[in-house]
Amino acid sequence: MISVGYYPIDNKIYLVLNKKEYQGNTYVFLANEMDSADVMVRKVENDNILKMLDNKEELINVLSLFIK
Amino acid sequence: MENDYRINEHILDINHEKNKILAERLVSNSVGSDAMVVAPKNKEIPRRDFLKYTVFGLGVAATALYFNEKLGISAKVSNELDLHAANSYMIDTKFKEYFERLNMPYETEEFLMFKKLNINDDNIMVMQALLECLQEDGFSETESWFAISQAFGNDGLYLIAKIYGKDSIDDLLMSKGYLYTREDGSHAPYREYFSNQNQVGYIENVKILKDLEEKKGMGL
């Protein structure tokens, strides 16, 4: 067993698979515990504010960090 | 029934319409204006499950990068990724992250083989997890082996042979139906049945395999 961070969103548990810093911001890659294909990226502020990304370019740049 | 194969198919055939849908879902889930206050928590989960989420989840990310142009995204970094990169991500990049801590005995036949294949204990662990995941998702053992052989080639079968402690890899592959004997007595991989394997996906190949097995009266 390993300890994994998660965020409860819309009554679902989204596990933190990875965390990256990009241009001064923190991003987390999240996966729905009940559906591993249900994944999302969020920008984290103050450890407890999850924000969607502003645009697709920002997402692509962050995704490239996650898979490197 | 087809949906049962969705995740597995994602690993094995990244260039597929369903995977594009997964990538589009990732984009729509991630881009927007919503924000929420939610405190992070921690929980204990099996290491195998975490690997499963990671491989599948980041595989969707790789797919999103591959399909970026079709998704209306233009970023220089995405142009560096092509289909080969997206496919090899599953096999190389992510696994190597786990495999770096090589700790195998050296100067043995096993070590030389594993060194050649860039395999170590963690690699085995990931492969075991993948095999278990496939079986949990409804694949039979034979189907899982076939899936892994399709994804990892014969090198993956060597790895599986190591996991199961078989002395003879050829015997193992024969017993599992992944090798057959040509008329001249030489061995050929089962994949030779699938002359179109580069054009069709995993599901189609499994169906072909099942048909072949049923005709032989072997069943899966």
DSSP string for residues in B120-184: -HHHHHHHHHHHHHHHHTT--HHHHHHHHHHHHHHHHHHHHHHHHT-S-HHHHHHHTTSEEE-TT
Task: Give pLDDT, residue A60.
Answer: 83
Q: How far apart are the first and last CA of chain A?
A: 25
CB A39 within 8 A of CB B78: no
Contact criterion met (CB < 8 Å) for B57 and A54: no
Considering only the beta carbons, identify the residue of A1, A36, A49 that sits closest to B53.
Answer: A36
Q: Check pLDDT > 50 for residue B87.
A: no
Residue B76 exposed, middle or buried by CB count within 10 Å (0-12, 13-18, 19+): exposed
Task: Give pLDDT, residue B68.
Answer: 58
DSSP conformational letter for B202: H
Note the pLDDT tens digit of each residue in B30-41. Answer: 999 999 999 999
Mean of the per-residue pLDDT values of chain B: 54
CB half-sphere exposure, B86, CA atoms < 13 A: 28
Closest residue on chain A to B33 (Cα): A52
Using alpha carbons, select from A25, A4, A19 the residue that is nearest to residue B45.
Answer: A4
B25 or B197: which carries more pLDDT confidence?
B25
User: Which pLDDT value is given to residue B39?
Assistant: 92
Q: Which residue has the higher pLDDT, A41 or B139?
A: A41
- Interface mutation target, options A39, A45, A52, chain B, most CBs of B under 10 Å: A39
Neighbour count for residue B210 (Cβ, 10 Å): 17
Which is more confidently placed, A35 or B118?
A: A35
SS3 percent helix, strand, coil of chain B, rounded to 5, is 65, 5, 30
Mean pLDDT of B13-39: 78
Q: What percentage of chain B reaches a pLDDT higher than 90?
A: 7
Look at residue B92 in the predicted model and tell me its pLDDT.
42
Residue B73 confidence (pLDDT) above 70: no
- Closest B-chain CA to A17: B54
Find the domain containing A43 and state its range. Answer: 6-67
Indicate whether A1 belongs to any domain: no
A36 belongs to a structural domain: yes
B129 against B185, higher pLDDT: B185
Q: CB A44: neighbour CB atoms within 10 A?
A: 18
Q: B118: pLDDT confidence band, cut at 50, 70 and 90?
A: very low
Task: State pLDDT tens for residues B162-172.
Answer: 554 434 445 55
CB pair distance less than 8 Å for B26 and A16: no
Task: Read off the pTM.
Answer: 0.50
- Percentage, residues of chain B above pLDDT 70: 16
Specify if A21 maps to a domain.
Answer: yes
Q: Take residue B84 and report the two structure tokens written for it.
A: 């080969």
In a domain, A19, yes or no: yes
Find which of B8, B25, B31, B122 to mutate to test the A interface (most A CBs within 10 Å of its CB). Answer: B31
Q: How far apart are CA B60 and CA B7, in angstroms?
A: 10
Residue A42 is assigned to a structural domain of this protein: yes
Q: For chain A, how many structural domains are there in total?
A: 1
Question: Which chain A residues contact residue B24 at CB under 8 A?
Answer: none
Q: What SS3 string covers B36-47?
A: EECCCEEEEECH
Q: What residues are paired with A40 via a beta bridge?
A: A30
Residue with the larger pLDDT of the pair B175 and B96: B175
**Which of A51, A61, A18 is closest to B75 using CA atoms?**
A61
How many angstroms separate the CA of residue A34 from the nearest CA in chain B? 10
More confident residue, A24 or B191: A24
Nearest CB to B32 within list A6, A31, A52: A52
Q: Is the pLDDT of residue B45 over 70?
A: yes
Inter-chain residue contact A60 with B78, CB threshold 8 Å: yes
Which residue, among B213, B137, B133, has the nearest Cα to B176 in the 3D structure?
A: B213
pLDDT of residue A1: 75
Residue numbers of chain A with a pLDDT score lower than 50: none
Mean pLDDT, to the nearest integer, of B201-217? 52
Distance CA B197, CA A39 (A): 29
Q: Which residues of A touch B (CB under 8 A)?
A: 1-9, 13, 15-18, 29, 31, 33, 36-42, 47-61, 63-64, 66-68
**CA distances to B26, B63, B200, B207 from B16, in Å:** 16, 10, 9, 17
What local confidence, expressed as pLDDT, does residue B219 receive?
40
